[in-house]
């Protein structure tokens, strides 16, 4: 199997130039349903996982992925957007749900997958509520590459030594943080780069899901007094010493293993990183769904990250990409993916190798939990870019949150004005 990897920098730029040199306007679909499928992804680190799936897809669908992985998100986005103007648009590629996917759909660049979704729902391969993030004007586009639930991982040795149990309320979680801090143990992991949003997301959605959703739609301003109050709570927690060194370069999984902090808020795919760091699931680490901040909420909000697999409408491999997408929804595919990636499977009929992840998937899809889109996907890209920078600056220098929020809101005002 041939694998191509495009690194950041000159090679990516060269690839774009070569594509633009090709004839524009897309290519006629060759109609193939089996063979080698060109696959592009912005998750270069996951290339081995996709390659591991080839053995299963070859026997189950007679399709092999030829994977090109990008490690630079901006270069990847530019490459994919430019490719739509050529006859080399991808038969299969990864993207993001939310506004950035809506843009591609609005421009007619993405192949429809409604039939695939109808079959998957009818077969019980996926829950009906998963359809929403992939529905535009009543039609579906793309399929989920993965589903990850954002939860709290913790170092079991630290919890046992401190006589701590998994919290069921936010008050209990705060009490745990206070106890750990009092014993000289940093409660939480935090970083000032890229993943600067998780705690903001958790505090806002856990306080009021409608308030959180309002930020994504522009109905709520970042300078809303309720948001300011939440940021002040976050600041107070930082000043209390509840978070790790935001500038640390230690791998988060290694940090949890060596006790740099007791807990880390991360997606359920983090199991793979912890296993790779030498921690054993259920023995060295465990996880719990983070309780709602507001005890009056009837359901516990849980952030869901769902990255799509998409097929370009004008790709010569459109039919092949759609054939793979249909297979991808099946129990066999999702069982293989869960094992390769070390994460939950969106297909309830799939077998999840890790009992902890299997239990998590059953729990959060049951009664008493409300799933919401992760901030990274829910927020329009121009606003997200500024927000990540401002959250990072706030983490590095916690103080009056209003100036940071005003900067984000200024970008939000420009974005929403352009949508009118």
Q: Is the pLDDT of residue 243 over 70?
A: yes
Output the pLDDT for position 236: 98
DSSP 349: T
Report yes or no: 37 and 92 within 8 Å, Cβ to Cβ: yes
Confidence of residue 278 (pLDDT cuts 50, 70, 90): very high
CA distance 10 to 286: 42
Structure tokens, 143: 């399929």
Class of domain 4-147+305-362: alpha beta
**Among 280-284, 295-299, 341-345, which stretch is predicted with the lowest mean pLDDT?**
341-345
Query: What does the pLDDT look like over 219-231, one tens digit per residue?
Result: 999 999 999 999 9
Which residues neighbour 276 within 8 Å (Cβ) at sequence distance 6 or greater?
253
Phi, psi of 37 (to 5 degrees): -110, 125
What average pLDDT does this structure show over 236-256? 96
Query: What does the pLDDT look like over 90-125, one tens digit per residue?
Result: 999 999 888 889 999 999 999 999 999 999 999 999
Task: Characterize the bridge pairing of strands 143-155 and 263-267.
Answer: antiparallel
Helix residue ranges per DSSP H, 261-330 = 270-276, 318-328
Q: The domain 149-303+374-418 belongs to what CATH superfamily? A: Periplasmic binding protein-like II (3.40.190.10)
Cα torsion at 267, 268, 269, 271 (round to 10°)?
A: 120
The percent of residues in the chain predicted with pLDDT above 90, rounded, is 78
Confidence of residue 362 (pLDDT cuts 50, 70, 90): confident
Structure tokens, 146: 């993965």
φ/ψ region of 222 (left if φ > 0, alpha if ψ in -120 to 50, else beta) reads: alpha
Structure tokens, 98: 């939310």
Q: Is the pLDDT of residue 233 over 60?
A: yes
Q: Which residues pair with 309 in a beta bridge?
A: 94, 143
Output the pLDDT for position 8: 34
Q: Is the pLDDT of residue 7 over 60?
A: no
Nearest to 149 by CA among 321, 287, 9, 315: 287
Report yes or no: 314 and 26 within 8 Å, Cβ to Cβ: yes
Structure tokens, 389: 């920078």
| Other CB atoms within 10 A of residue 268 CB | 26
Report yes or no: 328 and 341 within 8 Å, Cβ to Cβ: no
SS3 content of the chain, % helix, strand, coil (to 5): 45, 15, 35
Nearest 5°: CA angle at 369, between 335 and 209? Answer: 120
The percent of residues in the chain predicted with pLDDT above 70, rounded, is 94
Under DSSP, is residue 270 helix (H, G, I), strand (E, B) or coil?
Answer: helix
CA distance 128 to 346: 11
Query: What does the pLDDT look like over 9-67, one tens digit per residue?
Result: 333 333 433 333 333 456 788 999 999 999 999 989 889 989 999 999 999 999 999 99
Output the pLDDT for position 129: 80
What average pLDDT does this structure show over 285-310? 96
Contacts 24+ apart (CB under 8 A), 296-300: 297/206, 297/209, 299/368, 299/369, 299/370, 300/368, 300/369, 300/370
CA distance 16 to 77: 11
DSSP 130: G
- What is the domain partition of the chain in residue ranges? 4-147+305-362, 149-303+374-418
Query: What does the pLDDT look like over 125-179, one tens digit per residue?
Result: 998 888 988 999 999 999 999 899 999 999 999 999 999 999 999 999 999 999 9
Report yes or no: 232 and 203 within 8 Å, Cβ to Cβ: no
Q: Is the pLDDT of residue 377 over 70?
A: yes
pTM: 0.84
Fold match flag (4-147+305-362 vs 149-303+374-418): yes
| Other CB atoms within 10 A of residue 280 CB | 10
Dihedral sign, CA of 120, 125, 131, 134? negative
Output the pLDDT for position 15: 40
| Other CB atoms within 10 A of residue 259 CB | 13
CA distance 70 to 76: 6
HSE of 176, CA atoms in CB hemisphere, 13 A: 26
Biggest CA–CA distance in the chain, Å, is 66
Report yes or no: 265 and 188 within 8 Å, Cβ to Cβ: yes
CA distance 407 to 403: 6
């Amino acid at each position: 199997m041939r694998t191509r990897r495009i690194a950041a920098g000159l090679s990516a730029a060269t690839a774009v130039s070569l594509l633009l040199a090709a004839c524009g306007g897309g290519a006629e679909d060759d109609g193939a349903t089996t063979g080698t499928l060109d696959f592009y992804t912005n998750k270069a680190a996951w290339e081995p996982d996709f390659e591991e799936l080839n053995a299963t897809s070859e026997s189950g669908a007679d399709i092999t992925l030829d994977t090109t992985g990008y490690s630079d998100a901006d270069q990847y986005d530019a490459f994919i957007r430019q490719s739509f103007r050529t006859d080399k648009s991808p038969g299969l590629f990864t993207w993001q749900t939310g506004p950035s996917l809506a843009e591609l759909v609005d421009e007619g660049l993405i192949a429809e997958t409604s039939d695939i979704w109808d079959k998957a729902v009818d077969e019980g391969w996926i829950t009906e509520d998963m359809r929403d993030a992939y529905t535009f004007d009543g039609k579906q586009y793309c399929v989920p590459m993965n589903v990850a639930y954002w939860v709290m991982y913790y170092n079991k040795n630290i919890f046992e030594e401190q006589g701590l149990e998994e919290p069921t309320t936010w008050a209990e979680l705060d009490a745990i943080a206070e106890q750990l801090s009092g014993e000289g143990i940093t409660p939480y992991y935090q970083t000032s780069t890229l993943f600067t949003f998780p705690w903001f997301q958790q505090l806002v959605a856990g306080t009021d899901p409608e308030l959180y959703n309002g930020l994504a739609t522009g109905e709520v301003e970042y300078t809303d007094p309720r948001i300011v109050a939440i940021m002040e709570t976050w600041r107070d927690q930082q000043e209390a010493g509840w978070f790790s060194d935001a500038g640390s370069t230690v791998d988060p999984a290694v940090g949890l293993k060596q006790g740099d902090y007791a807990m880390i808020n991360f997606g359920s795919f983090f199991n793979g990183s912890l296993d790779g760091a030498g921690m054993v699931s259920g023995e060295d680490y465990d996880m719990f769904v983070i309780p709602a901040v507001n005890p009056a909420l009837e359901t516990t909000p849980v952030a869901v990250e769902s990255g799509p697999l998409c097929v370009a409408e004008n790709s010569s491999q459109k039919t092949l990409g759609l054939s793979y997408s249909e297979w991808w929804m099946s129990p066999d595919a999702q069982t293989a993916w869960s094992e390769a990636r070390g994460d939950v499977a969106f297909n309830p009929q799939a077998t999840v190798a890790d009992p902890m992840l299997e239990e998590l998937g059953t729990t959060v899809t049951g009664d008493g939990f409300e799933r919401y889109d992760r901030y990274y996907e829910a927020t329009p890209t121009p606003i997200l870019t500024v927000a990540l920078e401002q959250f990072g600056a706030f983490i590095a220098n916690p103080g009056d949150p209003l100036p940071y929020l005003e900067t984000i809101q200024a970008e939000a005002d420009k974005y929403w004005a352009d949508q009118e």
